[in-house]
């Protein structure tokens, strides 16, 4: 029986069933939502004249210990993909404080799973937010590429064409392999009134088993050629306007793969597969419930134009729509 490859659109659609996208401005129910900015129901403190009573501003209760599940499902275009990511999180509040800086602080540990028809990533995550303006997450993922739908494809050096057409033409060269993925993700964030700003950096190290003589591979999540044993740096920076259930803003995203002698880059040889894009996004929470099995169901969408890319600059923009929610399994005061 002859195997017939699925269409390019179907392969792209199935490729990503993982999680990708919007890091949050403050600790939110869907922390793993790479990350959907969600408007907080707690308003900022207001300054009132000394002869007038301060308004009663109810503060959102923060549990001492919390066990919850986060989930995001995402469809994207250019590159095409469908992803789902889920994290089971056990979280402990650090400070019982009403201070703006110390109130929303925590430490947690999580089990993470990213799943697609072409790959599986599982592993632990630890995260600490010692102050509202700073968050640090460290993760490890065991990664398995299944060798279907054109993934994984690898190359002897990073000086290769990885456009959609080139990946489609090389689909028969895809193979199954596995490896390790380490991430350190510091985030700086702040909020003044309804305006929030956030910048998240990611320092990622890959150790993937590639075919003999090959040193780089195409990663569909970051849409670039990465070193099979080496580093890649990324950044997502947002300016966000929060209004009740709505969040709208602008995001900048950048990816910078790192190459060296192990990838054949020495002397005057240059390889630059970095890319950058910028564009608006928005999200809407269908409700703002907390402490239930279906918290903050949120629809999110974004469009971003490539400022720089080896094959996508000047073409269609990056687009995605997603749906996120979280489920509280346990909360203690």
Q: Give pLDDT tens digits for 168-223.
A: 999 999 999 999 999 999 999 999 999 999 999 999 999 999 999 999 999 999 99
Identify the structural domains of the chain with CATH numbers, from first to last. Answer: 8-40+61-332 (2.40.160.40)
Q: CB atoms < 10 A from the CB of 27, how many?
A: 18
Measured CA to CA, the distance from residue 260 to residue 7 in angstroms comes to: 36
Residue 284, C-beta contacts closer than 8 angstroms, at least 6 positions apart:
245, 246, 247, 298, 299, 300
Task: Confirm if 63 and 333 have CB atoms less than 8 A apart.
Answer: yes
| DSSP H/E element including 190 | strand 176-192
The reported pTM is: 0.84
Strand-pair partners of 233: 203, 256
Phi, psi of 121 (to 5 degrees): -130, 125
Q: CB atoms < 10 A from the CB of 65, how many?
A: 14
**Peptide bond connecting 152 to the previous residue in cis, omega within 30 degrees of 0:** yes
Residue 292, C-beta contacts closer than 8 angstroms, at least 6 positions apart:
327, 328
Strand-pair partners of 325: 71
Where b means 16+ CB within 10 Å and e means fewer, 70-83 reads: bbbbbbbbbbbbbb
Q: Where on the phi/psi map is residue 301: left (φ > 0), alpha (ψ -120 to 50), or beta?
A: beta
Which of 50-56's residues contact partners 24+ apart within 8 Å by CB, and which partners? none
Measured CA to CA, the distance from residue 294 to residue 270 in angstroms comes to: 50
Secondary structure of residue 263 in the 3-state scheme: helix
Tell how many helices (H) and how many strands (E) occur in the chain.
2, 15
Q: CB atoms < 10 A from the CB of 243, how many?
A: 9
Residue 192's pLDDT is: 95
Q: CB atoms < 10 A from the CB of 174, how many?
A: 20
Q: Which residues of the chain have pLDDT under 50?
A: 1-34, 36-56
């Amino acid at each position: 029986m002859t195997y017939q490859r699925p269409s390019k659109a179907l392969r792209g659609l199935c490729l990503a069933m993982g999680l990708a996208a919007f890091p949050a401005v403050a600790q939110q129910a869907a922390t793993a939502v790479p990350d959907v900015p969600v408007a907080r129901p707690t308003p900022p403190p207001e300054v009132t004249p000394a002869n007038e009573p301060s308004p009663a501003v109810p503060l959102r209760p923060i549990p001492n210990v919390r066990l919850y599940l986060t989930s995001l499902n995402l469809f994207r275009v250019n590159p095409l993909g469908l992803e789902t990511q889920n994290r089971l999180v056990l979280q402990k509040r650090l400070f019982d404080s009403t201070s703006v800086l110390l109130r929303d602080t925590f430490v947690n540990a999580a089990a993470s799973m990213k799943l697609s028809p072409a790959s599986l990533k599982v592993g632990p995550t630890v995260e600490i937010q010692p102050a509202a303006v700073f968050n640090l997450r460290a993760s490890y993922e065991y990664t398995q590429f299944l060798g279907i739908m054109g993934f994984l494809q690898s190359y002897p050096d990073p000086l290769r064409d990885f456009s959609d057409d080139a990946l489609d033409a090389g689909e028969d060269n895809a193979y199954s392999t596995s490896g390790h993925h380490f991430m350190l993700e510091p985030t700086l964030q702040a909020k003044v009134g309804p305006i929030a700003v956030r910048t998240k950096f990611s320092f990622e190290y890959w150790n993937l088993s590639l075919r003999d003589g090959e040193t780089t591979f195409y990663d569909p999540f970051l849409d670039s050629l990465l070193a099979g044993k080496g580093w890649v740096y990324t950044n997502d920076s947002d300016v966000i306007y929060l209004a009740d259930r709505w969040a709208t803003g602008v995001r900048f995203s950048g990816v910078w793969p790192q190459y060296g002698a192990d990838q054949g880059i020495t002397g005057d040889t240059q390889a630059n597969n970095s890319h950058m894009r910028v564009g608006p996004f928005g999200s809407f929470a269908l409700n703002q419930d907390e402490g239930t099995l279906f918290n903050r169901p949120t629809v999110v969408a974004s469009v971003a134009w490539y400022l720089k890319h080896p094959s996508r600059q000047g073409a269609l923009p990056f687009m995605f729509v997603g749906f996120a929610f979280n489920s509280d399994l346990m909360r203690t005061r």
